[in-house]
Structure 1
Amino acid sequence: MDGAHQARQKLREALGARLRGLRKDGGFASGRAFAAATEWQESKVSRIENGRQNASEEDIRLWCRKTNAQDQIDDLIATVRHIEELWLEWRRQLQNGAAPRQERALPVYARTKVFRVWHPTLVWGTLQTAEYAAETFKQVVDYYEIPDDTESAVAKRLERQQYLYQGDRIFNVLLAEQALYTNFGGPEVMRGQLDRLLAVMTLPRLSLGIVPRRAEMRIWPGNSFSMFDTRLVLVETYSAEFSVTQPREIALYAKAFDLLKASAVYGRTARALIRSALDGLG
């Protein structure tokens, strides 16, 4: 189970514990008694309370009616919807191509003042060259079998780069050394991308750290994630984009970022790692 599934499971378990408390406060000492009152299987009550089954909105309404907790219906239903919305299938998001998803990101970038980004395997999108971005989108198109709108998707992704130069935004970006070697498009594309990294390192509001492959780690690398202030974290997996908005969960990602940052190198040392990767291209 990856981190996204674990977080979602934790939320289900928290909801189940809350419903268990309502059941007991409502005078049902056992799951069996509550199952009889709702005409459910006892196993269903157990699965919901232990976070092994999603509670539907109708389940919540009936649960609250039976336990005289109607005042909590709206809040609990909002929790159920939040759990379901956390996990957005990529195929659904990309059904009209990759460009619309890139465009939806722009307002989030415009509102954000402090970015914290971790990527263990490739260069973060906002620092990509057009050629490198095109290679990544070609893979997205092939993998998810979606309409090929690579050119417009690249244009939308590059549009984010305006925020590197506008306003007082702060960009804290961490890449694992592997990101310098993951090959998208061959030597020429990679050479251009690595040159681009060397160039953007001079930007005053961009802090680019590299985690060397032999660095002592204080936390496992995990999935890539992007933090937007303390409001939102986006985590990408093969099947979905996981959206984190709960303050407690966001705090965990902030802690993870700090632990990853402790293993990173900056400035001349980071430049040396990038130049070494460039030298390896011949």
Structure 2
Amino acid sequence: MSTDFQHARIALGQRLRELRAEGGLTGRQLADRLGWTQSKVSKLETGRQTATHDDLTAWAQGVEQPQVAAELAARLRAFESGTRSWRRQLAAGHRPVQDTVTAEHERSTVKRAWQNSVVVGIFQTAEYARHVFNANADLHQSPRDVEDAVRARIRRQELLYRPGKKYHIVMWEAALRAQLCPPAVMAAQLDRLSGVIGLDTVSVGIVPFEAPLKLAPANGFWIHDERLVIVEDWHAELWLDQPENVSLYLRVWETLAASAVYGADAHKVITRCRRALGAL
């Protein structure tokens, strides 16, 4: 996976390797000095594992250069958010982004999502997705590979029917009312949403407008197996894998999910949104 986050992690690893070499230490020697496994040293140096602040402090002490601890900490803070700019991601179009997302879904068993403004991609109809991709291509002035992107998104929906996968999706009612497409397309999208409720791999919660909220219904995010959070913003995605960040987003998701209705009550919210579109 080529991301801004991963590039920064690799660069940090290269700096750690330089410091170890300057200290005249092998990976094994440093590992022994720090009481770590050699594999941890290797993973940190090659960017396959994200260092903690404690790891970096220990490294600086281990190579007998405690003065570099502040530099290393600053490097870590700079990429802890895992910012992946849309300009960079969309340079080759939307299809590669969809393929990257699908790879994470394939890798993950339990997925949780919160969405406040748009029907989540895993539930989108082709026509609804087409309008979403066209709008984003206009916004980011990116290559217009919309049809390839739509096909990739629809293929990902096959995972909804794969035994062992679990999708726990919570959306605000606003996502069901935002007319990002013509009313007839939105009506078909709401019908599709009604159809996925009841799948044994899927839990769908809708937070009605009238529901009491303990948190503001802010921007959408996905949590993959309690190991990775992907947050969408206008300028970038944030890929967060620090345990404390994942734990925070889990608490956010659980808090918002507690305000949602499910099953027959969720159907009622979808139905009233459908009726608001008129007779179509």
How does the TM-score come out when normalised to structure 2?
0.73
1:162 paired residue number: 158
2:120 paired residue number: 124
Deviation at 1:134, TM superposition (A): 0.3
1:175 paired residue number: 171
**Contact residue 211 and residue 265 of structure 1 kept, 8 A:** yes
**Contact residue 174 and residue 208 of structure 1 kept, 8 A:** yes
Deviation at 1:138, TM superposition (A): 0.2
Q: Secondary structure at the match of 2:154?
A: helix
Q: Secondary structure at the match of 2:168?
A: strand
Cα deviation code 1:6-47 (max 9, x no counterpart)? xxxxxxxxxxxxxxxxxxxxxxxxxxxxxxxxxxxxxxxxxx
Cα distance in 2 for partners of 1:110, 1:176 equals 26
Q: Secondary structure at the match of 2:198?
A: coil
Q: Please, which of 260, 268, 271 is the counterpart of residue 272 of structure 1?
A: 268
Cα distance in 1 for partners of 2:207, 2:213 equals 9
**Contact residue 163 and residue 201 of structure 2 kept, 8 A:** no
2:46 paired residue number: none
Deviation at 1:81, TM superposition (A): 6.3
Mean Cα displacement is larger for which, 129-138 or 213-222?
213-222
Cα distance in 1 for partners of 2:76, 2:117 equals 33
1:139 paired to 2:135 = yes
1:102 paired residue number: 98
Cα distance in 1 for partners of 2:229, 2:155 equals 20
Number of residues of Structure 1 aligned to a counterpart in Structure 2:
220
Q: Please, which of 83, 87, 91 is the counterpart of residue 83 of structure 2?
A: 87
**Contact residue 218 and residue 262 of structure 1 kept, 8 A:** no
1:206 paired residue number: 202
Structure 2: state its 5+ residue gaps. 1-55
Code of the aligned partner of 2:184? E
Deviation at 1:79, TM superposition (A): 2.2
1:230 paired residue number: 226
Cα distance in 1 for partners of 2:198, 2:207 equals 19
Cα distance in 2 for partners of 1:239, 1:230 equals 25
Cα deviation code 1:91-129 (max 9, x no counterpart)? 111011111100111211111111110001110000000
2:66 paired residue number: 69
Q: Matched residues, percent identical? A: 36
Cα distance in 1 for partners of 2:74, 2:237 equals 22
2:213 paired residue number: 217
Q: Secondary structure at the match of 1:222?
A: coil
Deviation at 1:71, TM superposition (A): 8.7
Deviation at 1:201, TM superposition (A): 0.5
Deviation at 1:187, TM superposition (A): 1.0
Would you identify which runs of 4 or more consecutive aligned residues in structure 1 move more than 6 Å? none
Let me know the Cα RMSD of the aligned residues.
Answer: 2.5
Mean Cα displacement is larger for which, 163-172 or 127-136?
163-172
